[in-house]
Amino acid sequence: MEQEYIILLQKILVVLFSVTLFWKIIKHICGLLVIEKEPVTVLVTGAAGQIGYALLPMIARGVMLGPDQPVIIHMLDIEPAAEALNGVKMELIDAAFPLLKDVVATTDVVEACQGVNIAVMVGGFPRKEGMKRKDVMSKNVSIYKAQASALEQHAAPDCKVLVVANPANTNALILKEFAPSIPEKNITCLTRLDHNRALGQISEKLNVHVSDVWNVIIWGNHSSTQYPDINHATVKTTNGEKSVRDAIANDNWLNTEFITTVQQRGATIIKARKLSSALSAASAACDHIRDWVLGTPKGTWVSMGVYSDGSYGIQPGIMYSFPVTCEKGQWSIVNGLKIDELSREKMDATAKELMDEKTLAYSCLIDD
């Protein structure tokens, strides 16, 4: 009897060993079959500047497109910044990012746009002391007209474009006008920074984690007329989910100080650090592209500056920030949200500013 037990135990051990070995062989074979994704080519203009310096390592580390997506980075800047640009390239190489397959540093817009899948347009002409608004607009119209032409001719057919440089909405509009073969839904501008700023203010006010606040909206222009709207926002509290307005229970703060704090946050940061908000802008650019490409979580939306189709009574033909959801690389405006009287007034005011900017930009084109 004892001998039978020993034989049975030996058989069980053989079976277990065989199963374990078989499983290891299967895992090894599966590992060999894993095919690395094709690299995505990402262009960053103004790459030697502050935002570029913060943004490039985020892209190379997988923050923008995910931890398993290899990237090729194209960096473009103007001739006077060529040496600094080369220094940034050296640093990217020295950082030995596993996902970074190649780096191109150039002052040639055609070389920079070659085969690009995603373009993050950070470069632009900043307003300097004593400059008239039209002079700044004229400089940027010229820059974005030239870059639009290069993207249209040399970028990948499905290239997605994010404009960061101010005036972001109108720069994106000019780019769209001069790159007609790029689908209009593939050209956007950055209002995610303002969206994130609004989330940050709410989370600080309620003393909750920022991930527990969702569905704020930035309407309109990336300027001091933008409208940060919390009327549809939700917060997770210890007592369950609540509307942000009910949780804060201070309409005066929400309708005044909250709005102006978000609108003027960029100027406040410049005053504090004597430099612009590069880190948060770079992070927001990654958030914008990541959600656009990989999708927004179910039940949530984000703010993106997109070409208006007339939704919410906003004039078609301008780049305006709306709440959007993203799926399979496409964004869609969230429709059907109730708009109160205060919101309507503020949404229309920022739309009017964008129409004025458009008129100014087009007058620059005529003078060009």
pLDDT at 1: 56
Which residues does the annotation place in the binding site for substrate?
127, 133, 166, 197
Q: Is the alpha carbon torsion for 326, 322, 160, 195 positive or negative?
A: negative
pLDDT at 126: 79
Torsion of CA 292, 295, 297, 300, to 10 degrees: 40
Rounded distance between C-alpha atoms, residue 331 and residue 323, angstroms: 10
Residues marked as binding? Answer: 46-52, 77, 127, 133, 140, 164-166, 197
Query: Which of helix, strand or coil describes residue 175?
Result: helix
pLDDT in tens, 73-99: 999 999 999 999 999 999 999 999 999
Here the tokens at position 287 are 């958030």
Say yes or no to pLDDT of 102 above 90: yes
Q: Collect all residues with Cβ–Cβ distance below 8 Å to 40 and sequence separation of at least 6.
A: 65, 69, 70, 71, 72, 117, 118
Instruction: Quote the percentage of the chain above a pLDDT of 90.
Output: 83
Sign of the C-alpha dihedral computed for residues 88, 93, 96 and 99 taken in this order: positive
Per-residue pLDDT, 136: 83
Q: CA–CA separation, 244 vs 203, rounded Å?
A: 10
What pLDDT, on a 0 to 100 scale, did the predictor assign at position 181? 94
**Which residues are annotated as part of the binding site for NAD(+)?**
46-52, 77, 140, 164-166
The least confident of 236-240, 243-247, 253-257 is: 236-240
At position 268, the amino acid (one-letter code) is T
Question: pLDDT-derived band of residue 10, with 50, 70 and 90 as boundaries?
Answer: confident
- Give the pLDDT confidence of 297-332 residue by residue, as tens digits: 999 999 999 999 999 999 999 999 999 999 999 999
Exposure class string for 278-301: b at 16+ Cβ within 10 A, else e: bbbbbbbbbbbbbbbbeebeeeeb
Give the closest residue to 72 by CA, choosing from 49, 43, 47, 51.
Answer: 43
Token digits of residue 191: 């209002």
State the catalytic residue, choosing from 154, 195, 209, 222. Answer: 222
Query: How confident is the model over 348-362, as pLDDT tens digits?
Result: 999 999 999 999 999
Q: How confident is the model at residue 150 (pLDDT cuts 50, 70, 90)?
A: very high
In the CATH scheme, what architecture does the domain 192-360 have? Alpha-Beta Complex (3.90)
CA-nearest of 70, 354, 47 to 227 is: 354
Let me know how long the chain is.
368
Farthest CA pair distance, the chain: 104
Residue 222 falls in the annotated catalytic set: yes
Q: What is the DSSP secondary structure assignment for residue 155, as one 8-state letter?
A: S
> What pLDDT does residue 22 have?
73
100: enclosing H helix or E strand: strand 100-106
Radius of gyration of the chain (CA): 25
Residue 20 has pLDDT above 90, yes or no: no
Let me know: does 301 contact 219? Beta carbons within 8 Å.
no
pLDDT at 257: 97
pLDDT score of 368 more than 70: no
Report the predicted TM-score, pTM, of the whole model to 2 decimal places: 0.89
All structural domains of the chain with their residue ranges: 40-189, 192-360
Q: Is it the case that residue 36 has pLDDT exceeding 70?
A: yes
Residues 106 and 89: their CA atoms lie apart, in Å, by 10
Note the pLDDT of residue 367.
Answer: 67
Domains 40-189 and 192-360 share a fold: no
Is the pLDDT at 130 greater than 90, yes or no? no
* In the predicted structure, residue 34 carries a pLDDT above the cut 60: no
Q: Does domain 40-189 have CATH number 3.90.25.10?
A: no
Q: What's the confidence (pLDDT) of residue 365?
A: 83
